[in-house]
């Protein structure tokens, strides 16, 4: 059955959606995996990266985005959400890259998320409001090897729906001061959610994005993040029990590369190598994908 991984950061612009798209494309293209992408962010960046804005518009108008799933859960009179009909098949702009499907997001998810949040507020002890996505996706889960969930930059009810489905999560971050600031917050919130629901979610670590080799800031920030883990591990057991282990820094850094930024364009470059600029960039993306797949299998 598919292993599901969520990409989370409370900060926007750190490469969550770009990494989610790239991981799916390398899983499918280099490793022959079947991948389901779930876009939970109302900004719909992952969706438009994978299907372009024209197809998204058509989907949105015909009620085949995740907004319709939450709408159905909120209102028994709403149209039924048919997940098989909503799923977009073989979605990469690379025409000859198969194996990636998508559940699209919608700009209207903002309103819906407020309604789902109100439902949770009215029934604070119920898990129903965070089980909407999982219930739907569980029916099709065995069609895939991996499910990648791109979350909005908050820990709201829609992200919590994603976490309920996830076996593990990764935190993409630029190695600078402001991007790494909220990391302990994310860990804490995921742990609280896990404790409340009884659903275990493994932290797979930090994905270093937009890495600029040779800059002191990036090198020092990575060093600080690594030292935090080493310091923790050096604590006596009774002290370790009191706090959480900081997330590992995944040892493959994704460079700040114009080719990766250009990959947001819905354009058929022909091959993964051309789309992601070849050379070291493609090597890093392939290695990161391999690293994550191995760790998902080991730790979940």
Q: Please tell me the distance from the alpha carbon of residue 245 to that of residue 295, in angstroms, as a whole number.
A: 17
Choose among 147, 135, 169: nearest CA to 34: 147
DSSP string, 209-257: -SB-TT-HHHHHHHHHHHHHHHHHHHS-HHHHTTSPPPPPBPS-PPB--
Which of Mg ion, ligand ADP, none sits in contact with 68, Cβ below 5 to 8 A by type?
A: none
Smallest separation (angstroms) from ligand ADP to the CB of 2? 22
Smallest separation (angstroms) from ligand ADP to the CB of 75? 30
261 binds ligand ADP (CB under 6 A): yes
The one segment of 12-20, 111-119, 180-188, 263-271 that binds Mg ion by CB under 5 A: 12-20
Which of 17, 48, 65, 281 binds Mg ion (CB under 5 A)? It is 17
Which of 44, 45, 60, 88 binds ligand ADP (CB under 6 A)? It is 45
Asked if residue 16 lies in contact with residue 9, where contact means CB atoms within 8 angstroms, the answer is yes
Q: Please tell me the distance from the alpha carbon of residue 275 to that of residue 266, in angstroms, as a whole number.
A: 10
Which residue's structure tokens are 């994005």? 209
Which of 3, 11, 16, 33 binds Mg ion (CB under 5 A)? It is 16
Helix (H) or strand (E) holding 151: none
Cβ neighbour number for residue 280 with a 10 Å cutoff: 11
Q: Please tell me the distance from the alpha carbon of residue 136 to that of residue 67, in angstroms, as a whole number.
A: 13
Question: For residues 79 and 110, which CB has a smaller minimum distance to Mg ion in the complex?
Answer: 110
32 binds ligand ADP (CB under 6 A): no
Question: For residues 202 and 210, which CB has a smaller minimum distance to ligand ADP in the complex?
Answer: 210
47 binds ligand ADP (CB under 6 A): no
Smallest separation (angstroms) from ligand ADP to the CB of 256? 4
254 binds ligand ADP (CB under 6 A): yes
Smallest separation (angstroms) from Mg ion to the CB of 264? 10
Which of ligand ADP, Mg ion, none sits in contact with 30, Cβ below 5 to 8 A by type?
A: none
Asked if residue 279 lies in contact with residue 258, where contact means CB atoms within 8 angstroms, the answer is no
Handedness of CA 274, 275, 281, 285 (dihedral sign): negative
Smallest separation (angstroms) from Mg ion to the CB of 15? 8
Choose among 2, 4, 1: nearest CA to 167: 4
Phi/psi class of residue 211: alpha, beta or left (left: φ > 0; alpha: ψ in -120 to 50)? beta
17 binds ligand ADP (CB under 6 A): yes
Which of 209, 221, 286, 295 binds ligand ADP (CB under 6 A)? It is 209
Which residues sit at the interface with ligand ADP, rule CB under 6 A? 12-18, 45, 209-210, 254, 256-257, 260-261, 264
Which residues sit at the interface with Mg ion, rule CB under 5 A? 16-17, 45
């Amino acid at each position: 059955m598919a292993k599901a991984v969520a990409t989370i950061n409370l900060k926007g612009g750190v490469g969550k959606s770009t990494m989610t798209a790239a991981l799916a494309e390398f899983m499918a293209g280099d490793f022959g995996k079947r991948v389901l992408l779930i876009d939970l962010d109302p900004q719909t960046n992952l969706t438009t990266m994978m299907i372009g804005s024209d197809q998204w518009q058509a989907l949105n108008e015909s009620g085949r985005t995740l907004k319709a799933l939450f709408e159905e859960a909120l209102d028994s009179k709403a149209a039924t959400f048919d997940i098989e009909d909503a799923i977009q098949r073989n979605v990469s702009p690379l025409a000859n890259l198969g194996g990636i499907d998508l559940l699209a997001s919608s700009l209207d998810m903002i309103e819906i998320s407020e309604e789902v949040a109100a439902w949770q507020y009215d029934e604070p002890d119920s898990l129903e409001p965070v089980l909407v996505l999982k219930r739907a996706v569980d029916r099709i889960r065995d069609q895939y090897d991996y499910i990648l969930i791109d979350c909005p930059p908050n820990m709201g009810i829609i992200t919590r729906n994603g976490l309920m489905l996830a076996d593990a999560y990764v935190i993409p971050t630029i190695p600078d001061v402001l991007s790494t600031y909220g990391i302990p917050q994310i860990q804490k919130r995921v742990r609280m959610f896990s404790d409340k629901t009884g659903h275990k979610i493994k932290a797979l670590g930090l994905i270093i994005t937009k890495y600029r080799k040779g800059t002191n800031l990036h090198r020092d920030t990575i060093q600080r993040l690594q030292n935090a883990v080493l310091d923790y591990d050096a604590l006596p057991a009774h002290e370790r029990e009191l706090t959480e282990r900081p997330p590992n820094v995944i040892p493959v850094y994704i460079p700040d590369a114009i080719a990766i930024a250009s990959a947001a364009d819905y354009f058929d470059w022909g091959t993964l190598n051309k789309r992601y600029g070849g050379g070291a960039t493609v090597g890093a993306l392939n290695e990161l994908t391999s690293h994550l797949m191995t760790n998902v299998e080991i730790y979940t």
